[in-house]
Homo-oligomer: A and B are copies of this chain.
Amino acid sequence: MKEHKENAVISKATIDRLPLYYRTLKLSQQEGIEIISSDELGRKIGVTPEQIRKDLSAFGEFGKKGVGYYVRELMRNIGEILGLNRKWNIAIAGVGHLGWALANYANFSPQGFDLQAIFDVDTDKIGRYINEVEIFSIERMKEIVSDRDIQIGIITVPAEYAQDIATRFVEAGIKGIWNFAPVKLNVPASIHVVSEDLSVGLSSMSYYLSRQI
């Protein structure tokens, strides 16, 4: 692999597409595809081949002109760029159905995200385990986050409790928050927040179906 350009300014839009490239390359690899053109990769993801070449050129040279990208090599390189070759300790706050679903989600662990703890306020749930991961009282958040070196907190509590949980996560020393509650969180600028809105997927579907039906 060529080193990627350390000082290149990379847009957030590009960074947000890299996981899509990674995932599509992984599916292609599973289908036995060894080499993929930017046309084919673009068709699968729904971006133009020009966009793909531009995105990937920000990091270095990954393909061969007239041949395409080597699927396994490009996947490994994008994985390195995304930091997926290292291990991240994560915690979930909120054991509703979404929290349960995420705690059982099989695809985090192969990508280096290691669920270390789950937090809730419900005394019926505290002390129980989901897939061998213990549910702790949120009162113990600071202690557990520190002891287990947890870097990423996932918020799946109801909207009205999300800010309190975010503040607790930040005080406990977390660096990034993945927020499923439909509220804007007030956290220090140094904390990276990714907000998930499950209705976004349906909204783009709505656009396409509107033109069709």
The chain A residues found within 8 Å of chain B, CB to CB, are: 11-13, 15-16, 18-20, 22-23, 27, 31, 46-48, 51, 81-84, 86, 88, 90, 96-98, 100-102, 104-108, 111-113, 151-152, 175-176, 178, 182, 184, 190, 192, 194, 196-210, 212-213
Q: Can you list the 6 inter-chain pairs with the closest CB atoms, starting with the nearest?
A: A83-B210, A12-B46, A19-B203, A97-B101, A98-B101, A97-B100
Closest CB-CB distance, A145 to chain B, in whole Å? 14
Nearest residue, chain B, Cβ from A96: B101
Known: A13-B51, A83-B206, A84-B206. A201 touches B178 (CB 8 A): yes
Closest CB-CB distance, A17 to chain B, in whole Å? 8
Cβ contact of A202, chosen from B31, B46, B90, B213, cutoff 8 A: B90
* CB pair A84 B203 closer than 8 Å: yes
Chain B positions within 8 Å of A199 at CB level: 19, 23, 105, 107-108, 111, 113
Known: A107-B182, A152-B205. A210 touches B86 (CB 8 A): yes
A-B contact pairs, 13 of them (CB 8 A): A15-B204, A31-B184, A86-B206, A96-B104, A97-B98, A97-B101, A107-B198, A111-B199, A152-B202, A176-B209, A192-B212, A194-B202, A196-B198
Chain B positions within 8 Å of A100 at CB level: 97, 101
